[in-house]
Amino acid sequence: MKTEIIYGIHPVFEALAAEKRTFYDLFQMQGKNNRRTDEITARAEAAGIAVHVLSRQKLAALCGADTHQGMAARVSPCPLLSLNEILSNASASTSADTSAGFLLILDNIVDPYNLGALIRSALCTGVTGVVIPRDRSAPPSPAVSKASAGALEHICLASVVNLATTLKELKKHGYWIIGLDMGGGQSIYENDFTGNIVLVVGGEGTGIRPLVKQHCDFLRSIPQTGPVSSLNASVAGAVAMYEVYRQRHLTGAT
């Protein structure tokens, strides 16, 4: 039975709320009691989950990190969906709120903190599914859940073998593929994001890989000034995702 330790108040709370993982044990730091930790403990006890009280040192050793905020849990690994399941969920979601599909592909995001931040922004901006490559990506680890403030526990996430093949398949389902690239001919503010779109965000320093870039319908950039050549991947992704959100949801935005 494969398990992992998630840690931090938000990841544990959101994992309980999402009900996507199996909980085996809850761990609380001795003397760490507040409204949020008490709520988490009460939920766990009501669900029949064993609750253990540990010292700060033992909890840190269990988590492999000091940033546990006095709360951790032994759970099943983060569930991953297939591409077909992502498309099915996207279709159901868009039918419910009449919005077009909005998927996010993350190419070569190997920093777990950037992956977590991007997933957090994705959940906040209405992304209906996130796709990562199986090999060239940070895995959906406890560190990613912590960096996402628990958003990982709610997002629909798929891991695929080949991103180029995935993009071809998405095009067959009526999606336009827009790559975020500092060399893109037009800025994101000149692009129409109101249809079914896939936003592709590349990795730290390397950007989108050439083969993946070839399968993008459009390349769009984020205008900027100053001596720094590019934005951090998670910041750039957040800026682009919020432009999609602005066009789709804010009054008078086009």
CATH number at residue 58: 3.30.1330.30
Phi–psi pair at 102, nearest 5 degrees: -140, 105
Q: How confident is the model at residue 252 (pLDDT cuts 50, 70, 90)?
A: low
Residue at which a domain ends, from 75, 108, 137: 75
User: Do 132 and 209 have their domain in common?
Assistant: yes
Separation CA 122–CA 208 (nearest Å): 18
Rounded average pLDDT over 170-189: 91
| pLDDT number for residue 33 | 80
| pLDDT number for residue 170 | 96
User: Do 210 and 94 have their domain in common?
Assistant: yes
User: Do 90 and 66 have their domain in common?
Assistant: no
Quote the percentage of the chain above a pLDDT of 90: 78
254 inside domain? no
User: Do 69 and 87 have their domain in common?
Assistant: no
| pLDDT number for residue 254 | 47
| pLDDT number for residue 95 | 56
User: Do 134 and 236 have their domain in common?
Assistant: yes
The least confident of 94-108, 118-132, 194-208 is: 94-108
| pLDDT number for residue 98 | 56
Look up the domain containing 69 and give its range: 4-75
Q: How confident is the model at residue 74 (pLDDT cuts 50, 70, 90)?
A: very high
* Average confidence score pLDDT of the chain: 91
Buried b (16+ CB within 10 A) or exposed e, 3-34: ebbbbbbbbbbbbbeeebbebebbbbbeebee
pLDDT at 94 over 60: yes
Q: How many domains does the chain have?
A: 2
